[in-house]
């Protein structure tokens, strides 16, 4: 992976491979920084007293560490393994895997443009990473909205190939939210109207809106959308439409927003 920065920044999370374990700590190579060497002191391996360091780290193991200090002149990088919880570790590993995929896809873009990957990074790769946070996120954005590059004022003869490769290989990102509906209808055919409100009305709405039966009088609306803003709008519109329908047929409805 080509990177604009030669060294990581303090506080950054990095993916490492353990190369050598000693009684006083572990030496690792930084996968994202051309295999630069870093060191995890035994005090930063785990909390509490460590009897056998190899109970926690071993050669060949893949770790996610937090950068504590960087000495660019001496090339020293001090790391902490214990400072990264499981949630952050999973997030970082997934981000790393995504960037590896994006790096390979940029290679395909380069082939189609008749350029080298390095040339593509210099021409637009670094700019994409800076604008969207990561190259992979840039690809997700253009899959969801082809005008995303224009919105960031990123233009060039490369955009067509970039969007094409992204759409061929990346699934559009999405978020999922849900809310509860409580509905009653005292009429003799009330159950039919409730069913019509949930099935017919929502079926006519956005394809990402689904209904789940919880147990009368409770029902759940689940919305899947590209982002939270559009998901919330879709959820609100769907709930209003359902409640309006059931009220028009002699019933009552109440919507409660909840997290999935």
The answer to whether residues 158 and 220 belong to one domain is no
Q: What six digits make up the tokens of 97? A: 């895997």
In this prediction, residue 1 has a pLDDT band, given cuts at 50, 70 and 90, of: low
Alpha-carbon distance of 57 to 159, in angstroms, equals: 44
What is the pTM for the complete model shown?
Answer: 0.63
Residue 177 has pLDDT above 60, yes or no: yes
Residue where one domain finishes, among candidates 67, 84, 101: 84
Last residue of a domain, one of 140, 169, 198: 169
Answer yes or no: is 7 within a domain: no
Q: Are residues 184 and 253 in the same domain?
A: yes
Q: What is the CATH number of the domain that holds 189?
A: 3.30.70.1130
pLDDT at residue 17 above 90? yes
Res 64 pLDDT > 90: yes
218 falls within a domain: yes
- CATH for 107: 1.10.150.190
Name the helix (H) or strand (E) containing 176: strand 175-184
Range with the poorest average pLDDT among 14-18, 118-122, 211-215: 211-215
Percentage of the chain surpassing pLDDT 70?
93
Same domain, 190 and 252: yes
Q: Does residue 250 lie in a domain region?
A: yes
Q: Alpha-carbon distance 90 to 98, whole Å?
A: 12
Q: Is residue 208 predicted with pLDDT exceeding 70?
A: no
The span from the CA of 37 to the CA of 40, in Å, is: 10
For 116-140, how does the pLDDT look when each residue is reduced to its tens digit (9 = 90+)? Answer: 999 999 999 999 998 888 999 899 8
> Does a structural domain hold residue 8?
no
CATH number reported for the structural domain that contains residue 55 in this entry = 2.40.50.140
Is residue 102 domain-shared with residue 27, that is, in the same domain? Answer: no
In this structure, the answer to whether residues 92 and 138 fall within a common structural domain is yes
Q: Which of 169, 191, 216 is the last residue of a domain?
A: 169
Cis peptide bond N-terminal to 133, omega within 30: no
Give 84-92's long-range contacts (Cβ < 8 A, gap of 24+).
84/13, 88/13, 88/64, 89/64, 92/13, 92/14, 92/15, 92/64
Orientation of helix 135-144 relative to helix 159-169, angle to 10°: 90
Same-domain check for residues 185 and 229: yes
Do 196 and 129 lie in one domain? The reply is no
Which domain covers residue 248, as residue numbers? 175-258
pLDDT bracket for residue 36 (50, 70, 90): very high
Say how many domains are in the chain.
3
Q: Are 43 and 93 in contact (CB under 8 A)?
A: no
Looking at residue 12, what is its pLDDT? 95
């Amino acid at each position: 992976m080509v990177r604009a920065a030669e060294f990581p920044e303090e506080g950054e999370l990095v993916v490492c491979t353990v190369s050598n374990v000693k009684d006083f700590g572990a030496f690792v190579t930084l996968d994202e920084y051309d295999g630069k060497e870093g060191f995890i002191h035994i005090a930063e391996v785990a909390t509490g007293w460590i009897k056998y360091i190899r109970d926690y780290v071993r050669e060949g193991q893949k770790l996610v560490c937090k950068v504590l200090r960087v000495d660019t002149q001496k090339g020293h990088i001090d790391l902490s393994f214990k400072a990264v919880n499981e949630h952050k570790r999973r997030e970082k590993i997934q981000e790393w895997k995504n960037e590896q995929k994006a790096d390979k896809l940029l290679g395909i873009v380069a082939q189609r443009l008749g350029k080298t990957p390095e040339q593509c990074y210099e021409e637009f790769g670094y700019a994409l990473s800076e604008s969207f946070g990561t190259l992979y996120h840039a690809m997700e954005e253009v899959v969801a909205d082809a005008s995303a590059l224009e919105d960031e004022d990123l233009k060039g003869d490369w955009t067509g190939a970039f969007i094409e490769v992204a759409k061929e290989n990346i699934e559009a990102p999405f978020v999922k939210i849900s809310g509860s509906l409580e509905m009653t209808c005292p009429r003799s055919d009330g159950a039919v109207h409730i069913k019509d409100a949930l099935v017919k009305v929502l079926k006519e709405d956005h394809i990402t809106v689904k209904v789940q039966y919880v147990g009368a009088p409770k029902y759940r609306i689940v919305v899947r959308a590209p982002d939270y803003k559009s998901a919330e709008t879709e959820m609100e519109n769907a709930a209003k439409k359902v409640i309006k329908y059931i009220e028009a047929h002699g019933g009552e409805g109440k919507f409660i927003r909840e997290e999935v």
